[in-house]
Amino acid sequence: MSYKPQFDTISEDTINCFYFSTEANDDISYWDNLCIDINKTIQNLSSEYLWHKDKLEVFPQILNEEQHDSQPHLFSSTCYGDNIEDEWFIVYIIFELTKQFDKLVVHVTDIDGDFILIEAADFLPQWMNPVSTEKRVFIFKGEVHIIPETLVDVDTDLEFSDSIKYIINHPQETKASDNIQSSIAKRIAGYPAKIKDNIHRAIIELPLDAAAVLSIDPSLISHVVNAYCHHDVIDEKVCKNIKFQDTTCIKLSFTRCQYAMLTHSKDMKTLKHTFASKKDKKSILGLKLYCGYKIILNEVSDIFNSKEYAKYISSLKSNGYFKDNIDGSKDYVALLEKAKEYFVAMLTPSNKNISNKMNQIIASEEFQRQKDELINRMQDSDEDSDDWLNINPEQLNELLNSRYGKQANIKEELTPQSISKHLSSFLHKSSDFEGIELNDQDDEIHDDKIEFDCEAFSDALQDMLKLISSNNAQDIDSGNDISDDELEMNLDSEIKESLSTDMLNEDPVERNKSMFNNIMQSIKEEEGFTGPSSNLLNSIGIKKNDLLDSDDDDE
């Protein structure tokens, strides 16, 4: 079977990017040089960023795969693991790349498809869904471009080569709306300044060898944290007889995600007595990190003597990757080195690759110098506060509302009348299996749709509840001789009679005020948590805190 990169089977924590060019150029040297320039720019943009798992790195094509219709391109496949912020930092980098390389057109996707559109869900046209947008969404010159149905019918199976032509020839038609652009821009706003805000510095106690390795290459902390937090039974056996001695305290930098993961990860069962003997945070976290360090070192193996590598090279040969070059020739060796780089970055299990890197550091002269320096230097005791780990329910609700709550454009004062109006409008919205339609566009309303009178329904429901409540005792005493049909007919009759008198003549202002007071009482009884009333208000874009504030003003 011939080798092909597995882009069509995306793992749930991987972002894939395809880098096309508006310049029709099949020259290998053009793409190699572009790849080098892009990677240099990525390095400059991310020099202070601490990747959770894989770093963003772009590679040229190894083979011309049919699934990408032979359109020349570069590509990257980056596993972001448990930290979704890495994915959005990559999106930020892609926008910056397309600003600096004006011929670059990038298609970004993950297991959810064109995930960047999720941020603009409130502003997407009706025809757009994960299937209909396939090969239609690109980033070009720092803006989102979407090939609309008016340009190419939704049922058309687009090829990337065709998509790029539409972007080039119809830039104004494919440019996404301002609302879509601003929604996505808001998600990646704050970079690069936000990089430093996401770093947590902590004092950690570690054995000298691990402390020296992490001091020489601080980026290895990501792999050590992941190794511990995702350890299995076999890994626990590796750490069973671990010796936590000859230690020193050093300041290490984590992402907040990594620090939270390490802090809340469970202790290894095989080391429960060792963990029990550690009383302070820096020792407990240090023991966890040292276990992760040992787990990675246990993965030592020559990746270029593995069965996977042999199969990979065989596949390249059968697909003509080495062309007619003789094994050992200059051109053959150059192609082989490129293939090795791809194999190490894209196909090698992470811990095996990192294990080799750690062993190279340990074998270096710098390693011993660093150990001596750690022994002789004064220890640092200044670290960041981790109070940010604690969050109360109200803060969590505010965070969720700011990220996922409906953004409403309600400019008017929150009064019983305005609340009633917006609730009434909400109840008139149409709904199907995809949920309720909340946009305010004037879509055509067909005559065969049911018209729902929410005020009449509310009045009838209140009246029915009153009738049931007042007659409850009488119904119980009189026994069960009345049939369900007779009971229903009696209720219908009484409801109609009541609707024709008092309820129809009730003052709408008083009715709105009563509804408003009931909602306010329900929200107050939620005591800071999320409940039915606050959820209902969120559906129409009203935050419960705003409503509570308006109620306080009235008092």
Average of pLDDT values for 293-317? 81
Calpha distance 166→202 (Å, rounded)? 51
| 242 has pLDDT over 70 | yes
List helix spans (H) across 13-124.
28-45, 84-100
pLDDT category of residue 448 using cuts at 50, 70 and 90: very low
| 484 has pLDDT over 80 | no
- pLDDT tens digits, 109-122: 999 899 999 999 98
Calpha distance 83→516 (Å, rounded)? 42
- pLDDT tens digits, 500-549: 555 555 666 666 677 677 777 776 776 566 677 666 666 656 666 666 66
Give DSSP secondary structure letters for 330-344: HHHHHHHHHHHHHII
| 97 has pLDDT over 90 | yes
Pull the structure tokens for residue 289. Answer: 């990190």
CB neighbour list of residue 311: distance below 8 Å, 6 or more residues apart:
3
Question: What CA dihedral angle connects 373, 376, 378 and 380, to 10 degrees?
Answer: 40
Average of pLDDT values for 146-168? 92
Strand partners, 138: 145
Calpha distance 107→18 (Å, rounded)? 5
For the entire predicted model, the pTM comes to 0.72
- pLDDT tens digits, 317-350: 888 888 888 888 888 888 888 888 888 776 655 6
Give the least confident one: 77-91, 234-248, 424-438, 532-546.
424-438
CB neighbour list of residue 480: distance below 8 Å, 6 or more residues apart:
none
Give the least confident one: 30-34, 176-180, 338-342, 506-510.
506-510
Greatest mean pLDDT among 162-171, 416-425, 455-464, 510-519? 162-171
pLDDT category of residue 142 using cuts at 50, 70 and 90: very high
Calpha distance 417→512 (Å, rounded)? 6
Pull the structure tokens for residue 374. Answer: 């750690």
Calpha distance 521→541 (Å, rounded)? 19
Greatest mean pLDDT among 131-135, 354-358, 423-427, 525-529? 131-135
Tell me whether residue 168 is exposed, middle or buried, using C-beta atoms within 10 angstroms of its C-beta: 0 to 12, 13 to 18, 19 or more.
middle
77 vs 65, higher pLDDT: 77
**Which residue carries 């990337």 as its tokens?**
160
Cβ atoms of residues 255 and 52 within 8 Å? yes
pLDDT category of residue 499 using cuts at 50, 70 and 90: low
**In Å, how far are 42, 218, 230, 350 from 15, measured between CA atoms?**
16, 24, 20, 16
Q: If we measure between CA atoms, which residue out of 357, 316, 83 comes closest to residue 214?
A: 357
| 207 has pLDDT over 70 | yes
Cβ atoms of residues 1 and 315 within 8 Å? yes
- pLDDT tens digits, 366-392: 999 999 999 888 777 788 898 998 887
End-to-end CA distance of the chain: 76
328: phi then psi, degrees, rounded to nearest 5: 100, -15
Residue-level pLDDT at 453: 57
**Which residue carries 């894939």 as its tokens?**
16
Q: If we measure between CA atoms, which residue out of 47, 52, 54, 72 comes closest to residue 62?
A: 72
Q: If we measure between CA atoms, which residue out of 202, 175, 237, 119 comes closest to residue 385?
A: 202
Give DSSP secondary structure letters for 120-180: GGGG--TT--TTTTTTTEEEETTEEEE--TTTS-TTS---HHHHHHHHHH-HHHHBPPHHH
**Which residue carries 């299990």 as its tokens?**
349
Give the least confident one: 58-72, 126-140, 302-316.
58-72
Q: Which SS3 state, helix, strand or coil, does residue 107 take?
A: strand
Q: Position 334: which residue type?
A: A
Residue-level pLDDT at 1: 28
| 466 has pLDDT over 90 | no
Cβ atoms of residues 18 and 97 within 8 Å? no
Calpha distance 502→463 (Å, rounded)? 10
| 3 has pLDDT over 50 | no
**Which residue carries 């001695």 as its tokens?**
245
Q: Please state, for a pLDDT cut of 90, what percent of the chain lies above it.
A: 40
| CB hemisphere CA count around 553 (13 angstroms) | 9
Cα maximum dimension of the chain = 102
pLDDT category of residue 434 using cuts at 50, 70 and 90: low
Whole-number average pLDDT of the chain: 80
Strand partners, 140: 105, 143
pLDDT category of residue 495 using cuts at 50, 70 and 90: low
Cβ atoms of residues 59 and 346 within 8 Å? yes
| 141 has pLDDT over 90 | yes
